[in-house]
Amino acid sequence: MNYKNLNDFELLEYVNANDENATNLLYEKYKPLIEKQARKLLVYSKYNNGYDLNDLIQEGLLGLSNAIKTYTDNKETSFFTYAKTCIERRQLSLVTGSFRMKNRMLNQSLPLDSDEIDEKGITDYIGDNESNPENILTDIESSKELERRISNVLTDFERQVFELKINGFTYTEIADILDKDPKQIDNAIQRIKCKIKEII
């Protein structure tokens, strides 16, 4: 059978019947989309956050796998739109997650043989209140609670915009990453600000 002549819905029927050839073709078909989005996010990453292109591609493949498992043809969107959303959300979660408070210590840590430590002296770092584990945990808990409260009042789109904005992306970059008009991003940020003011 020539699977390449089949559309996504037909391929999904074969995938649901455990047809390995149809599954492989679906992954092959969506791999360029996954790689394109991964390269776009890697370019926009302003810091080395411990992930590379392959990590983003893997996240995209997991997003596609989730889309294949959870898509039903009674949804109001095409499989392509649904899969693209699942892929992008999974990849965006990796990028924005690397900036969160729980990863801050790992991302900002210095090796013990660092020249900066040698110049300043390790005791200066040990006595530093900002590095006090109790203070860090208190900050993390407060931030988590605030983040949870904000997240509860935002739509999915606003949440994506918010995550990218607090991680240093510009309006133009956010618009490009989310494939939206910069005006839509500006409007979303204004709505987010109003919602946050109500919480604070």
Residues 107-117 pLDDT 10s = 555 454 445 44
Residues in the chain: 200
Which letter does DSSP use for residue 50 in this model? Answer: S
- pLDDT tens for 118-131 read 455 545 555 555 55
Is 73 a residue whose pLDDT tops 90? no
Boundaries of CATH 1.10.1740 in the chain? 1-98
Q: Is the pLDDT of residue 76 over 60?
A: yes
The CA-atom distances, in angstroms, between 91 and each of 33, 34, 67 are 12, 9, 14
Q: In this model, does residue 10 exceed pLDDT 60?
A: yes
Task: Report pLDDT for 141.
Answer: 63
- Look up the pTM and report it: 0.58
For domain 154-200, the CATH architecture is Orthogonal Bundle (1.10)
Segment 129-183, tens digit of pLDDT: 555 555 655 665 666 777 778 878 888 888 888 888 877 788 888 888 888 888 9
Cβ proximity of 87 and 64 under 8 Å: yes
CATH 1.10.10 maps onto the chain at: 154-200
Class of domain 1-98: mainly alpha
